[in-house]
Amino acid sequence: MDKIEISLDLQLSKQFNLALDCVLPGKGITGIFGHSGSGKTSLLRFIAGLQPCAGASLTVAGQIWQQGKQKLAVHQRPLGYVFQEASLFAHLTVQGNLDYARKRAWPGTGIPYPQIVELLGIDGLLRQLPDALSGGERQRVAIARALLINPSLLLMDEPLASLDEKRKQEFLPYLHNLHQELAIPVLYVTHSLAELTRLADYVLMLEQGKLKAQGSIAELSRQLGLADPDAPFCVLDAVVTASHPQWHLVSAQSQSASLWLPDSGLKVGEPLRLHILARDISLSLGNHNDSSILNRLPARVESVNTVQDAVMVELSSNAGALLAKISLRSAEHLHLQVGQSLFAQIKSMALSR
Amino acid sequence: MPLSNDDLAAIWLTLKLASTVTVILLLIGTPIAWWLSQTTSWFKRPVAALVALPLVLPPTVIGFYLLVAMGPQGPIGQFTQWFGLGLLPFTFWGLVVGSVFYSLPFVVQPLYNAMTAIGLRPLEVAATLRASPWDRFITVVLPLSRPGFITAAVLGFAHTVGEFGVVLMIGGNIPAETRLVSVQIYDHVEALQYSQAHSLSALMLVFSFIVLLLVQGVSRQNTQRKGHG
């Protein structure tokens, strides 16, 4: 699918104005990220046609959805929408809810019905009424229903917000599997960095109704990492290139750098997303071959900022952008300066997917 | 005291009138209630007030104006004459028109409440599932406001059975044509036939009690269902 072009200027209240002009990729999951009240949901509702906005324009894959006053009604837009609360029809069973979408599905070949039911694990619930389901089950049915309409664009508004932490962990694999199966683009609204870095390929950051930044996860790695003041992190996308069973390690390629990773049953060719906490990166001026640390990358200092009791160092490396959190004393000791070359030692990293 | 033939005719006429009026009221009340529940127009308040007027007006006032309006010089009268239907006062259909006005709020109000309680979300969901406005109304609004329809039908029916003032003003007292149970009771009392009045009155009392019991049952079911949501 071709790109999504959005241009809108929406006065939602006296104090709040949502103004955007952007182009989003027509594939993969685009995370729309921002704090509560940044305009994420309004943006999604505008795209669906649920939030009127005079004078805006919206083109999805070359098809004009709105151009000034001319616009397609909601039911004429080939989209699926998953609301924050599951919003199943209370008068229909799970099966009835799914059939509501199947009867009205857009023509074309989507994911077949049995596969959707299996993917979301809802085949045991079909005869129940929504009232009898748990929050997580309802949301899974709602997602299945949105997929069964066979949309060309899937809009998801914080689909995990109504679930507790345990349910979220159970649910994320379903969403991730979906990501693998789906050929259509997904716009995923969230205020959770964990969901964003796990699921999104591309990110749109909103702040108080304005576009703060947009780009791939890797491009926005540092900005996103800094958005989590408790545990700043950075993200690298990599692909497994070789397996080394004698060391229980695999090597993975991230941009032009090769990294060592513990072998947790990874297959060669598998795409990975690595989540590295800023405090797990240490800096050294020399290339210490005598250290036990496996991953050591030449890097360049891009910025140095003192944050309360520590120093945040933004780095660029041939693996991608990195973020290190070091002590005030170390920063002074290393005489850190922008443009300086040094080595970043990665003590540990987690797979976020 | 057994019911006389006149009493039975009055009961039959009352049931016929109430059924006809209920059907018409549901047909008219549904779009009015839906419009009131959806509109943001300034026109909403005057229309809502107009629909609710019979709640506060003395039935004789409604009856009087309807009598004038349905008369040979009145707008409704001119209209019915032009269609070759003749004049409505003192006919069954005159009673129907009067009852429809008189019982309208009892149908519109429960429908309006039920439709407002649905909220915007189910309709938005249906729209994203490719349902057109008409499709949404049929497949989402109607089933979700079913308890409101039951209450509306029962109240509309019962309220028509119980009317007296409007009937007397525009229907008069023609046996088997416009003489309803309530008028029949009045006649019995006027003629000092207290035991006959008593039979009919007791019947009405039991009927009304059962109706209210039914309505409460429906509204309790309704709140229970919402409680789960």
CATH number at residue B55: 1.10.3720.10
For residues A189 and A281, membership in a common domain is answered with: no
Number of domain units in chain B: 1
**Which of B128, B146, B228 to mutate to probe the A interface, most A CBs <10 Å?**
B128
Are residues A89 and A45 part of one domain? Answer: yes
Q: How many domains does chain A have?
A: 2
pLDDT of residue B172: 77
pLDDT at residue A164 greater than cutoff 80: no
pLDDT along chain B (229 residues), means of 10: 82 92 96 94 92 91 92 90 86 92 95 94 96 96 94 93 88 82 90 91 91 80 54
pLDDT tens for residues A185-211? Answer: 999 999 888 888 888 989 999 998 899
pLDDT in tens, A82-103: 999 889 999 999 999 999 999 9
- Whether A8 and A79 map to the same domain: the answer is yes
Nearest to B124 by CA among A140, A8, A83, A67: A83
For residue A73, the chain B residues in CB contact (below 8 A) are 127
pLDDT, residue B95, reads 92
List the domain range (segments joined by +) for residue A338. Answer: 233-351
Q: Do B229 and A105 make contact, defined as CB atoms within 8 angstroms?
A: no
Residue B154: inside a domain, yes or no?
yes
Strand partners, A310: A307, A327
| Average pLDDT over every residue of A136-159 | 92
Contact of A87 with chain B, judged by CB distance below 8 Å, is answered with yes
**What's the residue count for chain A?**
353
Residue A126 sits in a domain whose CATH number is 3.40.50.300
- Looking at residue A283, what is its pLDDT? 92
Residue A103 lies in a domain: yes
Residue B105 structure tokens? 């709020």
| CATH code: domain of residue A289 | 2.40.50.100
Closest CA to A279 of A314, A323, A220: A323
B111 found inside a domain: yes
Domain boundary residue, one of A217, A247, A275: A217
Q: Is the pLDDT of residue A172 over 90?
A: no
Last residue of a domain, one of A182, A217, A252: A217
Contact B124 A83 (CB under 8 A): yes
Q: Are residue A208 and residue A253 in the same domain, yes or no?
A: no
User: How confident is the model over A67-77, as a mean pLDDT?
Assistant: 91
User: Is pLDDT above 50 for A153?
Assistant: yes
What ipTM did this prediction achieve? 0.83
Q: Tell me whether residue B18 is in a domain.
A: yes
Res B115: pLDDT: 95
What residue numbers bound the domain in which B59 lies? 5-223
* Domain assignment present for B75: yes
Average pLDDT for A226-245:
86
Q: Which one of A55-69, A238-252, B23-37, B158-172 scores highest in mean pLDDT?
A: B23-37
**pLDDT mean across residues, chain A:** 88
Which residue in A74, A90, A91 is closest to B128 by CB distance? A74
Q: Please answer yes or no on whether B144 and A79 come within 8 Å at the CB atom.
A: no
In this structure, the answer to whether residues A85 and A212 fall within a common structural domain is yes
User: What confidence score (pLDDT) does residue B222 get?
Assistant: 64
Contact state of B128 with A80 under an 8 Å Cβ cutoff:
yes
Q: Which helix (H) or strand (E) holds A11?
A: strand A4-11
Same domain, A66 and A147: yes
Q: What is the pLDDT of residue B227?
A: 44
Same-domain status, A174 and A239: no
Residue A222 lies in a domain: no
User: Which of B184, B198, B113, B197 has its CA nearest to residue B155?
Assistant: B113
Q: Give the residue ranges of DSSP H helices in chain A.
A: 40-48, 94-103, 113-119, 135-148, 165-181, 193-199, 221-226, 328-334
